[in-house]
Amino acid sequence: MFVAAYWWKVHPGKEEQFRTAWRRGTELIREKYGSLGSRLHRDRDGRFVGVAEWPDEATWQKAFDAKMAYDDPETRAAFVDAIADTADEPVLLMAVTDDLLDRD
């Protein structure tokens, strides 16, 4: 398994818009590119942090090279509109060595 982490600062008042667009975008990326899904977190500074799981690095790289593009311009526009700042690249790229998360 391979993991990629990203962060976003969201405009005040657009948190729900961002979360809705992030959830829909994640579903579309899973369908189109084969991701295993993602978790969205909020750090102490208020940034949203997404940690996406992939079957392997090659699958992630193919999706990354395609800019994770999906056929839903409305969702993409809502996502981009909510973002105040983000990193240009993933902040972490990692191979999973041991996984003890309870997935019930």
Domain count, the chain: 1
Q: What is the mean pLDDT of residues 18-46?
A: 97
- Separation CA 68–CA 16 (nearest Å): 21
Listed residue (68, 52, 56) closest to 5, CA to CA: 52
Q: What is the pLDDT of residues 35-89, one digit of tens each?
A: 999 999 999 999 999 999 999 999 999 999 999 999 999 999 999 999 999 998 8
Report pTM.
Answer: 0.92
Q: Is residue 25 part of a domain?
A: yes
Q: Is 82 in contact with 17 (CB distance < 8 Å)?
A: yes
Q: Is residue 100 part of a domain?
A: no
Q: Using pLDDT thresholds of 50, 70 and 90, give the confidence band for residue 102.
A: confident
CATH of the domain at 69: 3.30.70.100
Q: Using pLDDT thresholds of 50, 70 and 90, give the confidence band for residue 6.
A: very high
